[in-house]
Chains A and B, each alone.
Chain A
Amino acid sequence: MTEVKTRFRGDRGLTARMGLVGVLLVALWLLFGAVLIAYTNLFFGIIVVIALAGAQWYFSDRMALASMRARVVTPEQAPELHGMVDRLVALADMPKPRVAIADTDLPNAFATGRSPDHAVVCVTTGIMRRLNAEELEGVLSHELAHVANRDVAVMTVASVIGLCAGFIARWGLFFGGGDRGRDSGPPVWLIIWLVSLVVYAISFLLTRALSRYRELSADRSGAYLTGKPSALASALTKISGDMARIPTRDLRQAQSMNAFFFTPALKAEHISSLLSTHPHIQTRLDQLAKISADLGRQV
């Protein structure tokens, strides 16, 4: 048999950056954990925080659907949307997620759920109204790539350390303060508190970087799945243009959902690129243009 050719090109740089962020997060965990175990009695509190994050991951589909007031639709209720998803999952060879629609004019889409077998893909009525079939398909393929990449699980695990550090920074003075004072030098609780603050800041930057890399890789897989990177690019420009024009009150309501949205519901110019959950739109368009050129090349 001859070697099967494929046009798919992985992005080694992207993989390497993602791996590096992952390693840094684990290292941060080890350091932080060692400090906590050695100097504090906060172990129980940390277990509680981890359990909460676990519950958040486990019930991610229900929580996301409830907070967006989205409802799961049957093939009879939304035949076209289901038909689109049916074909995309057959093309990608993955289990079909549930399909939900959120009744809001905010043009967006998200995927959530603890595993590919328990996933939900949700689109808003606003995005269905604005995009044509090809663009909507591009958006769906992007969301399906999030499902295949298990992004909910990855981002939950990545964000746990930030949650723990934030927990200590906020409540650590309460639990750890007082009884552990030493005779000389600064009190231990103050050091722990400062360490937690630093860990929180670093982990915040790292998880945001991870989130941006995963958006880029979902764009990439989505574009290869439909074979139409330009349709995804055009959806992106349409949506991000629209997102900037939406009144901010609606947007703030949706803020906590940002991590799994197709485009962030915050004005881009207000957040520096280092702090944002999504890559800059130009970065995403550039990547899609490169994939488009790759697909057009004769082999």
Chain B
Amino acid sequence: MGLLDSLLGRNKPAKANLDSLFALPQAAVTLEAAAGFKPTGIGAVCYRANEGAAFASMQADIQELLDADGGPAVERVQDSYGFTWLECRQEPDALSELVTELHTVNTTLEAHGFGPSLLCSVVGFKGPEGQTLGLVYLYKRGTFYPFAPLGDQRRDNGLELQIRGAVADDVPIEKSLERWLALWGAPGLS
């Protein structure tokens, strides 16, 4: 936001950046080779549901569209912070299909003018010893970060930093650690 904008109080909503999401399948290959983490086939998009009929009908359209492929139904979950998660399931080895589904959600929101309401997308992974890991895509930054919940609102920072090193060449990593938002209870991460 420019100085003039802040002087005049014109604080515009931040736009979402959808482009880097397709880098995920490549990162998954590296992740499996480097650390033995495999995709779980579960991914989710987190957004802020706006009030009003326009958003509700768009949301119903998205679900109908994604369910048309005959695969597992898309599930909609409301979290305790008032954000909505749209959970998509595919076969664990069909990561690019999963990413395409996530991308469809994003582009639909954006096409209806709700792009600023997108918070993040998560794709779930399981480690060799059963560790839970999510690669999170932050729309407003266009960057990824790893999130490894341990249950009971604790996270495995050591593992997160290890994963950061492993996938740093494949996806843009969020450099400022304070923006590595904790996503307790996100779908596919428990």
A residues contacting B by CB (< 8 A) are: 4-8, 10, 14-15, 18-19, 22, 79, 83-84, 86-87, 90-93, 95-96, 133-134, 137, 145, 148-151, 154, 213-214, 217-218, 221, 224-231, 292-293, 295-299
Contact = CB atoms under 8 A, between A and B. Distances in A.
B15 A6 contact: yes
Contacts of A14: 9
Interface stretch (B27-35, B53-61, B123-131, B163-171): B53-61
Contacts of B11: 145, 148-149, 217-218, 221
Majority DSSP secondary structure for residues of B touching A: loop
Contacts of A231: 51
A149 B181 CA distance: 23
Nearest to A90: B181
Majority DSSP secondary structure for residues of A touching B: helix
Contact of A90 (B50, B54, B179): B179
Given A4-B115, A10-B10, A292 B179 contact: no
Nearest to A296: B52
Q: Which of A7, A134, A137, A221 has the most CB of B within 10 A?
A: A7
B99 interface: no
Contacts of A228: 50-51, 82
B182 A90 contact: no
A133 B81 CA distance: 8
Contacts of A221: 11-13
A232 to B, nearest CB: 11
B143 to A, nearest CB: 11
Nearest to B15: A4
Given A213-B9, A214-B9, A86 B119 contact: no
A93 B13 CA distance: 9
Interface string B89-119: 0000000000000000000001111111101
Contact of A15 (B1, B9, B111, B153): B9
Contacts of B6: 148-150, 154
Interface string B130-163: 0000000010110000000000010000000000
B50 to A, nearest CB: 3
Contacts of B117: 91, 227
B48 interface: yes
Interface of B: 1, 6-15, 48-55, 57, 80-83, 110-117, 119-120, 138, 140-141, 153, 178-179, 181-182
B14 A93 contact: yes
Nearest to B118: A91
Contacts of B112: 5, 299
B9 A91 contact: no
Contacts of B80: 133
16 contacts: A5-B113, A5-B115, A6-B12, A14-B9, A15-B8, A86-B181, A87-B81, A90-B140, A90-B179, A92-B14, A92-B140, A96-B178, A133-B80, A221-B11, A227-B50, A298-B54
B117 to A, nearest CB: 5
B54 to A, nearest CB: 5
A67 B117 CA distance: 36
B181 A224 contact: no
Nearest to A133: B82
B169 to A, nearest CB: 25
A227 B48 contact: yes
A249 to B, nearest CB: 34
A148 B178 CA distance: 18
A85 to B, nearest CB: 10
Nearest to B18: A4
Contacts of B140: 90-93
The 7 lowest CB-CB distance pairs between A and B, nearest first, are A296-B52, A227-B50, A217-B9, A93-B140, A7-B113, A93-B14, A221-B11
